[in-house]
Amino acid sequence: MDDKTARLVEILKNSNNIVFFGGAGVSTASGIPDFRSSNGLWNQKLNKQFSPEELVSHTMYMRYPEEFFEFYKDKLIYPEAKPNAAHIALAKLEEMGKLKAVVTQNIDGLHQSAGSKVVFELHGSVLRNYCESCHAFYDEKFVLASEGIPTCEKCGGRVKPDVVLYEEGLDNDIIEGAVNAIVNADTLIIGGTSLVVYPAAGLIRYFTGRNLVLINKSATSADKNADLAINDDIAKVLGEAVEALK
């Protein structure tokens, strides 16, 4: 174990109200790439190249639903993905009574699959989908199995993923819960995010606790403000650190 991971172990030992704030890098080891790394989609019919951000925007969903769902099903749903060492370590920290909440920008549901109970999903989840007309619930398997635009089996309405698209606002209750958790934390661990997606990334300004820890493969703009910054694989670092607590 290197010195920085050993320092993280000490911080975890001496903390009783930890909050974890995570992004796309947390799920990389589970085989889920950041959708923004995609080249987007060249559409012959529209004779236009769409960026990944455009493809998961509210405008795209409303104007070009076929293209939206083509990209969404191909790039955002990974039914075979399993929790990795980072997800499992965080669930163990919660079980120990040290971690009070996970705040995630991810939409894959892997924190809950690993056993985490208190999870604030800022951008929703691909595992939940609802008919826009009658609000009937559908899982991700239904969406994946549907041809083209998924439609409700009960009323024929369009089925929309419970995911916050670009141009849509975040859920106020989720934001309030996440802010409250961060405000009360003695340690905030930020992992697997470059902190460039707002408004989610702005939530860290509410932290006034003792230890700000950043774990990300590449440096971030917040590294200089951290008590501990580790530029390494988050699954490895968290896995090692939590294992050392036992």
pLDDT exceeds cutoff 70 at 41: no
114 and 235 part of one domain: yes
Which listed residue (58, 87, 111, 123) is catalytic? 123
CB 228 within 8 A of CB 4: yes
Between 45 and 145, residue with greater pLDDT = 145
Q: Mean pLDDT throughout 7-25?
A: 96
Omega cis (within 30) before 199: yes
Residue 107 CA: distances (Å) to CA of 85, 136, 203: 18, 20, 18
Number of domains in the chain: 3
Q: Mean pLDDT throughout 123-150?
A: 97
Which amino acid is residue 145, in one-letter code?
A
DSSP letter at 21?
Answer: E
193 and 217 part of one domain: yes
Instruction: Tell the burial category of 63 from Cβ atoms under 10 Å away from its Cβ (0-12, 13-18, 19+).
Output: exposed
pLDDT at 60: 95
> Domain limits at 53?
35-75
pLDDT at 223: 82
pLDDT at 221: 78
pLDDT exceeds cutoff 80 at 183: yes
pLDDT at 150: 98
pLDDT exceeds cutoff 90 at 47: no
17 and 87 part of one domain: yes
For residue 200, what pLDDT band results from cuts at 50, 70 and 90? Answer: low
Domain harbouring 100, CATH code? 3.40.50.1220
26 and 42 part of one domain: no
pLDDT tens-digit readout, 56-102: 999 999 999 999 999 999 999 999 999 999 999 999 999 999 999 99
Other C-beta atoms closer than 10 Å to the C-beta of 101 total 23
pTM for the full predicted model: 0.93
Catalytic (active site) residue 123: yes
pLDDT at 197: 64
200 and 118 part of one domain: yes
46 and 109 part of one domain: no
Mean pLDDT rounded to a whole number for the chain? 92
In total, the chain counts a number of residues equal to 246
With vertex at residue 75, the alpha carbon angle to CA 72 and CA 78, rounded to the nearest 5 degrees, is 100
For residue 114, what pLDDT band results from cuts at 50, 70 and 90? Answer: very high
230 and 145 part of one domain: no
DSSP H helix total and E strand total for the chain: 9, 11
Among 140, 163, 186, residue at a domain's last position: 163
Q: In what order do the strands lie in the sheet with 211-215?
A: 119-121, 99-104, 18-22, 187-191, 211-215, 228-230
